[in-house]
A and B are shown apart, each in its own frame.
Chain A
Amino acid sequence: MSKQEFTITVYTENQIGLLNRIAIMFSRRKINIESLNTSPSEVENIHRFTIVINETEEVVRKLCRQIEKQVEVLKAYFNTNDEIVWQEMALYKVPTDIIAEKVKVERLLREFGARAVVIRKDYTVFEATGHREETERLIKALEPYQLIEFVRSARVAIIKASNGFHEKLKEFEQTEPGEDVIENEFLDKQDEVFTM
C-alpha cells in the first residue's frame, strides 16, 4: 500500500487537553501532521478537527480507531482527496511600489482568484483560497516581485457524502444507541467508509 494524502475529520467534545491527546497519537507513531485545524462544527459545542497526513490507508485506518477510542472523541473519519471538498487560505505580502509598477495586478488577481486585503503605500496583502497547488502557484508568480511574507492556513474540508453530525449526535446521546454509532464502521464497510 502506498502513501497518499488523507484528511482525517474528528468530532469531539470541547475539552481542554484534547488537542494534545490527539496530537500525541501522531507524534508517538512518528507521523508528521501536514496540517491541523480545529474549529466548531455544525453542532453546538461539538468540535471538529481536520488533520491532513501522508500515510498508507492501513496506518490511517488503525490510527482513526485509536483516536476514536479516546473518551472525548465522538467519531473519527478519514477520506481521500476525491471524497472531500477542501480549501486552504493563503496570505501574501508584497511591496506595493514594485507590484504596482511591474505587474498587471488586475490580471494577476483574476488569474489566481486572489483579492487584495490591504493596500498601503509600503505593502499590499493578497489573499487566495484554494487547493495547495493553487496557492503555491501564486507564490511562484509573486516571487519575482519580492514576496515579503507568506502564510497558509490549515486545510478545512467538507466530506461530500456527509449528512452532518446532528442526527448522529442524537444517537450518541442515547444510552442504547444504534449499531453504527457504537461501533467503528470501518471494519465491515471498508469501501464505504463514511456512513452517516
Chain B
Amino acid sequence: MSNTTTIQEPATVAQPAAKTTTLSGSQAVLEAFIAEGVHTIFGYPGGAIMPIYDALYDYQEKLKHILVRHEQGGIHAAQGYARTSGDVGVVFATSGPGATNLVTGLADAQIDSTPLVCVTGQVFAHLLGTDAFQETDVINITTPVTKWNYQVTDATEIPAVMAKAFYIARTGRPGPVLIDITKNAQLQKFDYPGYTKCEHIRSYRPKPIVRKQYVEEAAKLINEAKKPFVLFGQGVILGKAEKEFKAFIEKAGLPAAWTIMGLSALPSDHPLNVGMLGMHGNYGPNVLTNECDVLIAVGMRFDDRVTGRLDKYAKQAKVIHLDIDPAEIDKNVQTTVPVWGDCKDTLPLLTSLVNKNTHTAWVQQFHDLKAKEVEAVITEELNPTTAEMTMGEVMKVLNELTGGNAVIVTDVGQHQMVACRYAEFNQTMSNVTSGGLGTMGFCLPAAIGAKFGAPDRTVVGIVGDGGIQMTIQELGTIMQSEVDVKILILNNRFLGMVRQWQQLFHDKRYSFVDIASPDYVVVAKGYGIEGQRIDSRSNLRDALQTMLSHKGAYLLEVMVGKENNVFPMVPQGCSVAEIRLK
C-alpha cells in the first residue's frame, strides 16, 4: 500500500465557493455535524481533542453537547439516541484512554447495526508511532468493530471524510464509523470549500438492486405454503418498514415472531404477533420453527441465541431470507430464496404478489402453545403466589401504567429477558437493548441517549443490580444535564442470569455471582435524584406510578426474588424444539 494519506477517491466533489472562507479543521468537523442534521453530541474532552472542544465553545447555540462521565457512557448514550431517533448518534472522545473506552460501544453498535459517527482526537501527526503521551493505535484497535474508520492528518480532508462517515454510518446496513483526527489537523486553518453530502462511493454498495425473479419465487413459496412463519428482526426498524411489514403479514395471514432487536416493530397486541424467538423466547414460535413449511426471515441474522442448535434448526422448511446485507444470506441458515434489498422496497413487492390468506388453523397452533406456556410459566410469573416479587409482575404493572407507550431500555441478564418477554409496545423504536453483544452497563447511558432521541416520550431503563454498577457514574450525567429518565432496578442480589446457569448446568455451584449493592436510593440522592426502594408487592403500583409521574429523573429499586429463573429456556446445544418450560 502506498504511503499516502489522502483519500483516493474523494467522496464528494467540493463545490468551489464564491468566496472562500478560512476554517480550522475543528470548525470543519462541527460544520459537518450541522450540515448532517446533528443536534446532540455525547462526549468527554481531553488533550488531543481540545481544539475541537475549543471550537465547540462557539457552536453551543447550534450543537448540544452532553458531558458524560465515561466515554463508554458516551457511546452507549449515542446508541440509545440513534435507536429512538432513527438518526446517527455522535460521540467525541480524546486519544488514548478516551478512545479505548469507546471500544465496547463500538463492538455493540457494530453487531447491532447502530449508526454512529465517533470522532476521536489523536496526537500530532509528527508524533504518530513515537509512543507519545496518550497515543494509541486507535485505527487498528477499532478496525474489527467499525463499519469504517479513517485517520485524518490534514484538515483539508475533513469535509469529504465527514461526509463519507455519515453516509457510511447511515446507509445500507448501518454501523459505527470512527474518525481519528490528529491534533495538527484540528488546528490547521484551510480554505473551506463548503460541505457537500456524500451520495456515492464507488467501492460501496449499500443497497442491492431488488431482483424481481427472487421476489416472485418467494411469493410462490408463500402462496403454496400450508404453514408459513415469519421471523423479523431489527431490519424492519432500521429500514423504517414497519407499515410495509404489517401490510405484508396481514394480507397473507402470516404469524410473525420477533428477535429482541425487532421488538416493537409490530404492536404487541397485533393478532399475528406470536411472540419472541430464541433462548428465552415464547414456547410456540420456538417449537413451531421446526414445524413450519416456509420460514420467512425479514431483517434478521439467525443469531445462535435465536436458532439454538443449527443442525436441528428448521430443517423441514424452505427458507426465504429478506436482508439488505448479502453476507447474511446463507451465513448460518441455508436459504432457498434470497431476497436481497431494503425491506422497505422488497416487502411491498412481495405483498403485491402474495395471495390473501388467513391460515387460521396454523395460527391457532401458536395460540394453543401459548396457552400451554401461560399455564406453565406466565401465570405464575405475572401473578405470583410467592411472597417475593417477580420481575414479571413488575413488568405487568408497568405495562398497565404506561399503556405500552414508553421507551423501554434494558441492560443484560434475567431482567432483560423478562422485560423483552413481557413489555408491551404500541409503537416502533421503543425497545432499546444490547442484543448481539449483551453488554452489561448498556442500560443507564443508553437510556440517557434514548431520552435525547425521543424527548417527548417516557423512557424507563430497566436494569439489574449487577449492570447498574457497571456504569452507575452516568447518574452524574443525568444530574448535570437534567435528563428525565426513570431508572428501575430489579434487584435480586445476584448476577441473576449467571446464577441461573450455575443452578441449572453447574450443580448450583454459585461461583462469584453473589453481588453486594450500595444503597441506591442514597447514591441517587447524592446526585440529587429522587428515588425509593420497595420490597413489598402492596407498594408496587404506587411506587411505579410515583416514578412515572415524577418530574425529572427518578430511581426505583424493586427487591425481587433472589433465585427466580427465566423460563422457557432453550438450553445451549439444544434445538429450538427442545425448549424447556421449567
Tell which of B3-11, B430-438, B540-548 binds the partner.
B3-11
B327 touches A19 (CB 8 A): no
Please classify the interface of chain A as helix (H, G, I), strand (E, B), loop, or mixed, using the class held by over half of its residues: mixed
Q: Which A residues between 119 and 148 are near B, CB-CB below 8 angstroms?
A: none
Report A-chain residues with C-beta under 8 Å of the C-beta of B8: 13-15, 45
B1 touches A179 (CB 8 A): no
B203 touches A183 (CB 8 A): no
Q: A71-B168, A187-B338 are in contact. Are A19 and B1 (CB under 8 A)?
A: yes
Interface assignment of A24: CB less than 8 Å from any CB of chain B: yes
Tell me which of A17, A175, A183 contacts B139 (CB under 8 A): A17
Tell which of B40-48, B54-62, B194-202, B353-361 binds the partner.
B194-202
Report B-chain residues with C-beta under 8 Å of the C-beta of A161: none
Closest residue of A by beta carbon distance from B331 = A62
A21 touches B203 (CB 8 A): no
Interface assignment of A99: CB less than 8 Å from any CB of chain B: no
Tell me which of A12, A20, A175 contacts B199 (CB under 8 A): A175
A14 touches B2 (CB 8 A): yes
B198-240 vs A: 1/0 string, CB under 8 Å? 0111111101110100000000000000000000000000000
Interface assignment of A18: CB less than 8 Å from any CB of chain B: yes
Q: A19-B1, A28-B144, A71-B204 are in contact. Are A179 and B211 (CB under 8 A)?
A: yes
Tell me which of B9, B201, B340 contacts A183 (CB under 8 A): B340
Report A-chain residues with C-beta under 8 Å of the C-beta of B144: 24, 28
B163-205 vs A: 1/0 string, CB under 8 Å? 0000010000000000000000000000000000001111111
Interface assignment of A1: CB less than 8 Å from any CB of chain B: no
A6-40 vs B: 1/0 string, CB under 8 Å? 00000011111111110010001000000000100
Interface assignment of A150: CB less than 8 Å from any CB of chain B: no
Q: How far is the CA of A15 from the CA of B204 in the complex (A)?
A: 14
Distance in angstroms from A165 CB to nearest chain B CB is 12
Q: How far is the CA of A21 from the CA of B150 in the complex (A)?
A: 12
Tell me which of A14, A69, A187 contacts B325 (CB under 8 A): A69
Interface assignment of A51: CB less than 8 Å from any CB of chain B: no
Report B-chain residues with C-beta under 8 Å of the C-beta of A13: 8-9, 203
Q: A14-B2, A71-B201, A183-B340 are in contact. Are A62 and B330 (CB under 8 A)?
A: yes
Interface assignment of A167: CB less than 8 Å from any CB of chain B: no
Q: How far is the CA of A172 from the CA of B202 in the complex (A)?
A: 5
Q: How far is the CA of A71 from the CA of B11 in the complex (A)?
A: 12
B148 touches A71 (CB 8 A): yes
Q: How far is the CA of A62 from the CA of B340 in the complex (A)?
A: 16
Q: Which A residues between 173 and 196 are near B, CB-CB below 8 angstroms?
A: 173, 175, 177, 179, 181-184, 187
Interface assignment of A74: CB less than 8 Å from any CB of chain B: yes
Report A-chain residues with C-beta under 8 Å of the C-beta of B140: 17, 20
Q: How far is the CA of A173 from the CA of B151 in the complex (A)?
A: 24
Interface assignment of A5: CB less than 8 Å from any CB of chain B: no
The interface on chain A, measured as residues whose beta carbon lies within 8 A of the other chain's beta carbons, has a size of 35
A38 touches B1 (CB 8 A): yes
Interface assignment of A90: CB less than 8 Å from any CB of chain B: no
Q: How far is the CA of A38 from the CA of B327 in the complex (A)?
A: 24
Q: How far is the CA of A182 from the CA of B4 in the complex (A)?
A: 28
Interface assignment of A159: CB less than 8 Å from any CB of chain B: no
Distance in angstroms from A132 CB to nearest chain B CB is 26
Interface assignment of B326: CB less than 8 Å from any CB of chain A: yes
Interface assignment of B149: CB less than 8 Å from any CB of chain A: yes
Interface assignment of A91: CB less than 8 Å from any CB of chain B: no
A182 touches B208 (CB 8 A): yes
Interface assignment of B147: CB less than 8 Å from any CB of chain A: yes
Q: How far is the CA of A179 from the CA of B210 in the complex (A)?
A: 9
Tell me which of A12, A65, A71, A74 contacts B326 (CB under 8 A): A65
B203 touches A72 (CB 8 A): yes
Interface assignment of B102: CB less than 8 Å from any CB of chain A: no
Q: How far is the CA of A12 from the CA of B329 in the complex (A)?
A: 23
Q: How far is the CA of A131 from the CA of B151 in the complex (A)?
A: 40
Interface assignment of B143: CB less than 8 Å from any CB of chain A: yes
Report B-chain residues with C-beta under 8 Å of the C-beta of A20: 140, 143
Distance in angstroms from B75 CB to nearest chain A CB is 20
Distance in angstroms from B525 CB to nearest chain A CB is 46
B326 touches A184 (CB 8 A): yes
Interface assignment of A163: CB less than 8 Å from any CB of chain B: no
Q: How far is the CA of A16 from the CA of B3 in the complex (A)?
A: 7
Q: How far is the CA of A58 from the CA of B497 in the complex (A)?
A: 36
Report A-chain residues with C-beta under 8 Å of the C-beta of B2: 14
Q: How far is the CA of A62 from the CA of B139 in the complex (A)?
A: 25
Q: Which A residues between 142 and 158 are near B, CB-CB below 8 angstroms?
A: none
Interface assignment of A66: CB less than 8 Å from any CB of chain B: yes
Closest residue of B by beta carbon distance from A47 = B1
The 10 closest A-B pairs by CB, nearest first: A65-B327, A172-B202, A184-B326, A71-B148, A74-B203, A71-B204, A69-B327, A182-B205, A175-B200, A173-B202
**B-to-A contact residues, CB < 8 Å:** 1-5, 7-9, 139-140, 143-144, 147-151, 168, 199-205, 207-209, 211, 325-327, 329-331, 338, 340
Known: A28-B144, A187-B329. 19 other contacts (CB 8 A): A12-B203, A13-B9, A17-B151, A21-B143, A24-B144, A47-B1, A65-B327, A69-B325, A69-B327, A72-B148, A74-B202, A172-B202, A175-B200, A179-B209, A182-B205, A183-B205, A183-B209, A184-B327, A187-B338
